[in-house]
Amino acid sequence: MSVIVIGHRNPDTDSICSAIAYAYLKRQVTNEAYIAGRCGNVKPETKFVLDHFQVEEPTYFEDVKARVTDMIGQESPFAVLANAPIRDVGVLAAKENTKSLPVVDQDYHLVGMITLGDIAERYLNLEEFKDFDKMGITLGALVHTMGGCFISPTDEERPLKGKAVIGGMNPNSMVKHIEPGDFVVIGDREEAQLAAIKAGAGCLIITGGFSVTEKVKSEALTAGVPILSVPHDTYSAARLLGMCAPVNTIMHQDDIIAFQEDDYVDDVRKVMLDTRYRSYPVINKQKRLVGVVSRYHLLTMQRKQVILVDHNEKSQAVMGLEQAQILEVIDHHRMGDVQTGEPIFFRGEPVGCTSTIIASMYDEQDVEIPQDIAGIMLAAILSDTVLFKSPTCTKRDKVIAEKLAQIAGVDIMEFGKAMFAAGSSLEGRSPEEIIFQDFKEFHLGDKKLGICQVETMDMEGAQKLKANLLDSMESIRSDKKLDMVLLMLTDIINEGTLLLTAGKDVEIVDKAFKVTVKDQEAYLPGVLSRKKQVVPPLSAFLGA
């Protein structure tokens, strides 16, 4: 199972690029499987970066909740073919230590279920052995199940007819029980064999591994009676007859409870408790069998393993995090509320960007930084520090950015301006797209706030969208049951932020930033960082 390296919801450039860069570093250091993940859409700025350095987007994860695929792991599914003899079920059930098996066709599509109880019921029903027409047994199934070989040329597709007769009595008495088409289980007795052929037997099964005389062969060939020699005694051979029937004659086809491979384990657990079967087949969207699960799998299931980058708060994390195993956290924000059941590696540093920390870890682990990875980490630093203008920017961010720029072969300012230009245009974007470009929820004191930030060079366009933005912010506030939603429209050239507000608690903004909110907006000169210039004043005012 691969470890998922993933950033926060509504990921920004640092969240995406840090996940890619750290997953690469972990693969180089451990030689194990680490994949970069995302739990939101890639924004225009980030897409520009990934396209520029020809790096693939991380894998999208809607959540990290436990699914059926986590229960079956890498196990190969076991099943029995619908046209296989019933005896194959017993052999496979003993091998897999199970009492029920899925039944599949030649393309591994699920077609039924069969249990050892079904076989026992068949075996105890003696009436079945009086009419083999209904059992669908062929001569080929006989030799497959019993072993041995045909003594005379035989069409193995030929079905068995009539009933079974054990030829253990006097020949004169035996022939009274034989009707045309019946097959006779008989030992090494020439007289009885000839009598059975003469009485119209449809097949002779010679037990004990014996052959027959030339006279018997000749009579059988003339009458068209196949002769099968099997290595079992008469009693054992008779027992195996019922096991020669194909599985599809007794399998269950109705009311089969099967799970999809992407079903949530929580839902599966409820079904298991309500139905209490021993095992359940798992199928994919094409209805092909991919595994079998039981209550044992619930106990031994391995949780998804994740590494969090660029955040450590539950409200910002991928859905279902409580069901996953957190292995590490690499972050540059405040301490959040993510909790673990065991000690983990946690690295949080007061720098401007998570990628700054990760770039340092490459040096510490003596791993060479590839050109494309250097490029995306540089982009993350430029994005988070707003071209080094943000108060969160440190000397270390600048030093590492210079190093990464040399490896990536780009001019910092030229590339940075192109990146921001690609990501800052608001033209053609819906209010929801703009708001959720970088949306985070914060619990500060007894208030729940949503704070989103958009760096833009298009403040004129932002003003034209103001009414629609405010309407959408209010809808989002109501839907998410937030006290306020704040939208930071940050002008990276003039170094200031136009703050739009939705919610009735505007005095929070007035007092926290010592401004006056008018027409649901306030201008914050010099404010570029949500983390360092917006969240701390709000937190201090609200007593968080």
Cα distance between residue 321 and residue 313, in whole Å: 10
**What parts of the chain have a pLDDT lower than 70?**
123, 125-131, 133, 544
According to the model, what pLDDT value does residue 1 have? 79
| Cβ pair 312, 292 in contact under 8 A | no
According to the model, what pLDDT value does residue 163 have? 85
Cα distance between residue 119 and residue 87, in whole Å: 9
Helical H runs in 387-505? 395-408, 412-424, 431-435, 459-464, 466-479
According to the model, what pLDDT value does residue 47 have? 95
Report the predicted TM-score, pTM, of the whole model to 2 decimal places: 0.67
b/e map 8-20, b = 16+ CB within 10 Å: bbbbbbbbbbbbb
| Cβ pair 282, 105 in contact under 8 A | no
Query: Under CATH, what is the fold of the domain 137-244?
Result: 3.40.1390
According to the model, what pLDDT value does residue 110 have? 95
For domain 3-65+304-419, the CATH superfamily is inorganic pyrophosphatase (n-terminal core) (3.90.1640.10)
According to the model, what pLDDT value does residue 3 have? 97
Query: Under CATH, what is the fold of the domain 70-123+249-300?
Result: CBS-domain (3.10.580)
- Domains in the chain: boundaries: 3-65+304-419, 70-123+249-300, 137-244, 431-542
The pairing of beta strand 325-331 with beta strand 345-348: parallel
Q: What CATH number was assigned to the domain covering residues 431-542?
A: 3.10.310.20
| Cβ pair 174, 165 in contact under 8 A | yes
Structure confidence by residue, pLDDT tens digits, 213-248: 999 999 999 999 999 999 999 888 888 887 888 888
Structure confidence by residue, pLDDT tens digits, 257-304: 999 999 999 999 999 988 878 889 999 999 999 999 988 888 888 889
